[in-house]
Chain A
């Protein structure tokens, strides 16, 4: 780097300083708290006066009954959510892209985006009513077409799928907008050329639109892989109940009960650390894959 370039970019670097300071203060300094994952921490003590216990907190977590079931639930729900949150928005974006009437497209786009802003605390109460087997509208519809009613929130078979479906309904508007934005970036002359060559709408979608979307799909997939152990605390906590603990209890809700309920801060931190390490590894691997196969680069 030449001196002149350095001087020219100097103000930009200076402008960056507040951000870096805040980042260090609020993201890196608190990371020292990880230490309590390896301690027997009591409030009122600090990192220096709490006894070190090594891996004991991790061992304790693993020997608790139901830990494996909880891990399985978490993975199962999270993976389904990741897949649904990619597939549904892509389909939606492709469909909306074909709509000619601008006002219709815009309205649909806004309406499907709205649930994204409702908190799970509210939705929890609403969904219990909507999905109720005796009074809920969903089961009214099922009954009207001759299907048996389903206790979506109280049946271990249905509960994980209910979680995925409601989560997708709430979240898919966001990714739809991202994909729609990406669609506008595809060069229209490609479609014109395809038209002249006699390609059908379907062929154009397969050969032009989807390949054009591929980089952004890979980006979103890569980012979401870090969530493979995040099955969504807000949602599960507000929707689960004792009858579906078996299929709905996830790492985060378990940590909540142990950390907040029993005041075992060290164990809660240990599990949090475990989750972060797994997420870090998965994000790194998926980034490498994206780097190699899709030519996607951050640095």
Chain B
């Protein structure tokens, strides 16, 4: 989804650029003069510092005398500052200067939409006017790597990344870090995201389960039994047949709510996933035969009325209405979904949802799919005086943001002012949410909050309040609480059941050309088959069409990429 938005944004950016060529020109000159200054300032610093600090130079060694490192700041809206602070003088720059002897220099900053930032970065990359380090998109990363504009960070990673930094970058099992290597070289630090936060979960109204004396959903047959009872046995007790079985939005995929969880139960992986087929080659999940089995089951459920007969016209907004009004009791969502319809708890205090692991069809382990979450890369300009400085900065950022000495009110947010935005390099640990759950749960058992950092403490307080009868904390309890979504995700991780897409690079050329057409075909076919407007065999026709309309070309490109990886 995020990818979509960027492209959309990029187009409007293209239009803006055409109309406002002059504005961009101005920004450019500022950028270039700033980076020239820093370029001239940096080498002199190297000359003196490198000799003195050569022995025992490590992840947090201070530069003496201090060096200057230039970078770029971008955000959608201008930063807010406390009185007397600014981009060049704030809690983070002071921290870097005091502990590392690094003076951060703003080559340029830009506050506006991502598309415009992409434009400006494209211009800067094209003109070669780059600061010492900066954040770029996957496509730009690929392009800059090919053009030899990037410093090889491989040796610096080993020597200068702190244990905490290495831990954070490997919390996903190192998938995203490995995917950042280009030709065996680490040319950028991935701004990694979580592969576990987006895994599908089955959410069921536990108060209805109890009321109707239903089993927990362990298998798809259980799920069908529950859906049938939710539709036909009047779970809300108003003597009207106005409740739904399994909730599905017409977007088909995603957390609000989608069908990935259902398909995963049948070992099918749609929604843009690339998987390894039996021969070890990469294959597109949505055109594999397992899809057909799952679609057959969905068609059957629709025919029996267990899926909203009008799901084709119900987007996630309509599903949200159904949830808030207490008409829907089961859907495949993600960990955050209860926070999205908390108003339902206000309408009906009896409402309660429980997250369950995905049901099975055959007793085999069910793998939960996850897209590839790296959105950006930090890269260091080829020829920068201190390529290792980026790791030192990151070490300090992670320590003060998420480490043992983390102080959220000093470095992250306070009173609505978001200090963490001033840190030019900072990665949220992918397991942060899961760890929050684990530590909060532990604290709830032991009543000992001394191990919690300030974010965890606030979650803890919310849940304690909820347990004391304040229903406004219900969503937090369902997500982070002892039996919340993350207790299930914790099992996923422990059982090694998270399946990340195998294709981890920027979109290939044919993907750019054909993906939206193929997506449309897929969505149309899946929707029609479920609604019975097309027979199940229409799936075979779809697969054939998919291959002809660009799918084969994309698969070949993906295979070629996999061969060079």
Contacts and interface: CB of A to CB of B under 8 A. Distances in A.
A261 B7 contact: yes
Interface string B242-271: 000000001010000000000000000000
Interface in B29-57: none
Most chain B CB within a 10 A radius of its CB, from A64, A65, A151, A268:
A65
Contact of B7 (A41, A133, A245, A262): A262
Contact of A43 (B122, B317, B520, B531): B122
B526 A242 contact: yes
A149 to B, nearest CB: 10
A246 B10 CA distance: 29
Interface in A236-255: 241-246, 249
Nearest to A41: B14
B421 interface: no
Interface stretch (B193-201, B219-227, B305-313): B305-313
A241 B308 CA distance: 15
Interface string A128-160: 100011100000000000000001011010000
A54 interface: no
Given A245-B520, A257-B516, A264-B512, A43 B10 contact: yes
Most chain B CB within a 10 A radius of its CB, from A125, A153, A154, A244:
A154
Contact of B317 (A45, A125, A151, A246): A125
A188 interface: no
Contacts of B315: 241
A64 B122 CA distance: 30
Contacts of A125: 317
B521 interface: yes
A51 interface: no
A288 to B, nearest CB: 34
A45 B123 CA distance: 8
Contacts of B526: 242
A138 to B, nearest CB: 13
Given A30-B19, A64-B517, A65-B517, A153 B313 contact: yes
A133 B309 contact: yes
A60 interface: yes
Given A258-B516, A261-B4, A243 B13 contact: no
Given A242-B312, A243-B524, A260-B11, A44 B4 contact: no
A264 B513 contact: yes
A257 B513 contact: no
B122 A242 contact: no
A45 B18 CA distance: 11
Interface string A13-43: 0000000000000000010010000000101
Interface residues of A, number: 36
Contacts of A215: none
B528 interface: yes
B119 A43 contact: yes
Contacts of B488: none
A243 B545 CA distance: 18
Contact of A44 (B119, B310, B533): B119
A265 B528 contact: no
B513 A60 contact: yes
A196 B13 CA distance: 68
Given A43-B13, A257-B516, A258-B517, A242 B527 contact: yes
A109 B520 CA distance: 42
A263 B10 contact: yes
A121 to B, nearest CB: 11
Given A65-B521, A257-B520, A243 B527 contact: yes
B8 interface: yes
A260 B7 contact: yes
Contacts of A249: 520
A246 B533 CA distance: 12
Contacts of B318: 128
Contacts of A241: 250, 312-313, 315, 527
Contacts of A263: 7, 10-11, 512
A66 B523 CA distance: 14
A133 B308 CA distance: 11
Contacts of A242: 250, 252, 312, 520, 523-524, 526-528
A22 B521 CA distance: 43
A133 B313 CA distance: 11
Interface string B485-522: 00000000000000000000000000111111101110
A134 B314 CA distance: 13
A263 B511 CA distance: 10
A115 interface: no
B17 interface: yes
Contact of B516 (A43, A154, A261, A265): A261
A272 interface: no
A259 interface: yes
B74 to A, nearest CB: 15
Nearest to B250: A241
Contact of B310 (A43, A132, A257): A132
B549 interface: yes
A43 B118 contact: yes
A33 B119 CA distance: 17
A262 B13 CA distance: 15
B468 interface: no
Nearest to B522: A242
B349 interface: no
The 4 closest A-B pairs by CB, nearest first: A44-B122, A242-B527, A243-B312, A261-B516
22 contacts: A30-B19, A43-B17, A44-B118, A44-B125, A65-B517, A65-B545, A128-B318, A133-B310, A241-B250, A241-B315, A242-B520, A242-B526, A242-B528, A245-B520, A257-B517, A258-B516, A260-B7, A260-B11, A261-B515, A262-B7, A263-B512, A265-B11
Interface of B: 4, 7-8, 10-11, 13-14, 17-19, 115, 118-119, 121-123, 125-126, 250, 252, 309-310, 312-315, 317-318, 511-517, 519-521, 523-524, 526-528, 531, 533, 545, 548-549
Interface of A: 30, 33, 41, 43-45, 60, 64-66, 125, 128, 132-134, 151, 153-154, 156, 241-246, 249, 257-265, 268
